[in-house]
Amino acid sequence: MVKVIASSLRKGNVVEQDGKLYVILTSENIHPGKGASVTQVDMRRITDGVKVSERWRTTEMVEKADVDEREYQYLYEDAEGFHFMNPESYEQIAVPADVIGDQKAYLNDGMLVFLKTFEGTALAIELPQRVTLEVVETEPVVKGQTASSSFKPAILNNGIKTMVPPHIGVGTRIVVMTEDGSYVERAKD
């Protein structure tokens, strides 16, 4: 275990509190106009999956667990969960759906992700920051609306809705951020 300041906690970190391990789901540093800054954290207890909200002063020390973080390759999904393989040892691990959560929309066959495990149990998944997806539905391109700063809604091939520039049409491959599904750029492939 390592002590770290609360403001450095991020999604996917594992902390120990009262002898139990928790995986962080969201972490936000709040700076009110008056008073001390605090770190608001939503986390899930690893043993039974109970979600807990916690608030610490940003300078408070928190016990951070030492978890194994390795690169795994996504294989497939079935009733057991999501299956990943360690590319070095070819060892496979099944990850429950509640650990993957709404990030499953971005998983593609063969995608390399980082899995955080503690004593052989998967705790959290870290996807690549950007993925390339195809636009399957959007409004048609309007002539003369090229350099306008307005964006239009689009549905991607994984079912996610995002906003794209007016020049992007159906069938165009684009790069999006996995964190929030936002448009980055047109794919270069």
pLDDT at 148: 56
Is the separation of the CB atoms in 176 and 131 below 8 Å? yes
Is the separation of the CB atoms in 128 and 104 below 8 Å? no
Is residue 187 pLDDT above 70, yes or no?
Answer: yes
Residue 4, both tokens = 């770290």
* Residues 83-136 pLDDT 10s: 999 999 999 999 888 888 888 888 888 899 998 887 777 878 888 889 999 999
Which domains, ranges and CATH numbers included, belong to the chain?
Answer: 2-64 (2.30.30.30), 68-126 (2.40.50.140), 130-186 (2.40.50.140)
Output the CA torsion sign for 99, 101, 105, 106.
negative
DSSP state of 148: -
Q: Which residue has the higher pLDDT, 34 or 73?
A: 73
